[in-house]
Structure 1
């Protein structure tokens, strides 16, 4: 078969002549020959495969510049091209998940509902919390890159990664500690509190970038962050990464955060079962974290950026909260965690036993736990 005119090639590839001219100008799909007299573009039949790939990637929403990179890779390394498409789609899913979480919060907030917890009266007496925090290096790692903190206003766990992971996690927690020390949250409207938390997360991201920028590979440095700011009757949750927060209520343990990992996105899409996810080789690949790369959010190993989850929860007397790094959640079965959190007489005993469980299972990673009990208001004199 000879060369095809632009009209014939457009019909065969399902690209318009206008799109073909644009892709030629961008160097994305150059014609096989241009008639020197008429200027007509002529295409070879073997170019149809590249043209169809462009169509598919455009339908996926991929930017033109990245489409060119994928098409070029296809000609030399199809596996590398597939990895590029997978990475792009992981980022798209992370961004969609962030918008979905925000929409869910707005629906709950505007309807005065919280699916995990029942609302409490805004006129109720302020509640108290009793708390404990502990972090351990584990049995395999040489250093501890986790940060665990518990105080009267803030509960937080950060799991750093990269050569400066430990100071990155500590810096992120310090930003939220200052927010708690300033008394932000008590008695303020929900919208103002959420805005203050969003600003704090941005400052935490800048702090991580400052630390990462002093090293040789800033894009490889970052941290997860899961924290709760206590306002006296509500807990404001900040979450990015794969550290977790759980609620123990009436003997049931609920995970109230969503892992920002590639494997969790596959579970959400139905491509993996939760059981398969526990042993997947990429279960630690983050889609969202505070990192030293451009924008300050993104995952280790080339994951995509995204915003932190920020929302409010109403608390009840008798609630017990657990924040932990994946050194616990990825090693110890959830039922074993529930039994310890349920049976421990106080937060200090709970964090000690949870860390002992992780180390008893081999301690392959740093492990950090924060446990807090919500107490009834003290009686007035």
Structure 2
């Protein structure tokens, strides 16, 4: 019987004083908390299953509040997300909820969060994002970015930017969001990496793919063991590159 395996972790990195990232895996959330080791969760492939990373905006107040609000709202609504229209609607509701929460506390004015994730259905996957957290399809040959960064064009000689052009919340007045969405077929063996920019800013895509491939080879075909090891090694790559931001990631695999 097909199933979903998710290996995930979240960590503050080496520079930030606390973790402002949150994680949603089905009904389970990890909000502004640190995990010492990857956690692996298994679900049957059937009803909609949402896996997402939300990243509180650095330099704004209440990043951890915003990301947690998004994570919990997605977890509560996840079982109903069987179409792009439903995903678009809940992301717009998340945006409104972040602004509404900020209005109740002047100390949270302009708080915001990015979000990126997938909704796994029996025969298809819906990929979504707002901001610069990312979703990659993992193949033997490469990582293929499926999400779309909401970022300005990069300056010559720069690989990344800390600027984002669209977030959930993030300003003093309610602004609409236009989420990026796409749907693709889903089959046994398909794999996805969902992560905050604390992983992708310090570590190039080619290196990320090499880490995942090496973990798969070392695990000798044991899929969940490979993904848990890969999640740890991905985190370690970001730490060895300086760990400049919070690091949250989820490796998703369709098993059978």
Cα drift, residue 218 of structure 1: 4.9
Cα deviation, residue 219, structure 1? 5.1
Contact 1:168 1:221 in 2 (8 A): yes
Aligned length in residues: 223
Q: What residue in structure 2 maps to residue 176 of structure 1? A: 74
Deviations, residues 194-251 of structure 1 (Å, cap 9, x unaligned): 2211211111112211232233365531000001111122111120100111111233
The structure with higher relative contact order (CA 8 Å, sep 6+) is 2
CA contact (8 A) 1:149 1:370 kept: no
Structure with a larger share of its residues in strand:
2
Q: TM-score of the superposition, structure 1-length normalised? A: 0.55
| Structure 2 counterpart of 1:142 | 17
TM-score, normalised to structure 2, is 0.80
Match of 1:21?
none
Q: Which residue is equivalent to 2:4? A: 129
User: 2:89: which partner in 1?
Assistant: 199
Structure (1 or 2) with the larger CA radius of gyration: 1
Deviation, structure 1 residue 252: 2.0
User: Is the 8 Å Cα contact of residues 355 and 367 (structure 1) preserved in structure 2?
Assistant: yes
Task: Report the equivalent of 1:334.
Answer: 205
What do residues 318-339 of structure 1 show as CA deviations (whole Å, max 9, x unaligned)?
A: 2211001000100012111001
Q: How many angstroms apart in 2 are the aligned matches of 1:278 and 1:138?
A: 20
Aligned to 2:62: 164
Question: Deviation of residue 312 (structure 1)?
Answer: 1.1
Q: Distance in 1 between matches of 2:215 and 2:124?
A: 24
Q: 1:263-342 maps to which residues of 2 (within 5 A)? A: 266-267=153-154, 272-273=155-156, 276-278=157-159, 283-293=161-171, 294-297=173-176, 306-342=177-213
Structure 2 residues without counterparts, runs of 5 or longer = 27-42, 44-48, 217-225
State the 1:147 CA deviation: 0.9
Equivalence for 2:253: 373
Runs of 4+ in 1 over 3 A off after TM superposition: none
Matched residue, 2:229? 349
Corresponding residue for residue 300 of structure 1: none
Q: SS in structure 2 opposite 1:246?
A: strand
Gaps of 5+ in 1: 1-125, 186-192, 298-305, 377-381
**Structure with higher helix content:** 1
Confirm whether residue 230 of structure 1 aligns to residue 120 of structure 2: yes
Displacement after TM superposition at 1:369 (Å)? 0.5
Change (3 A) 1:347 1:296: farther
Does the aligned pair in 2 maintain the 1:249–1:318 contact within 8 Å? no
Q: CA RMSD in A?
A: 1.9
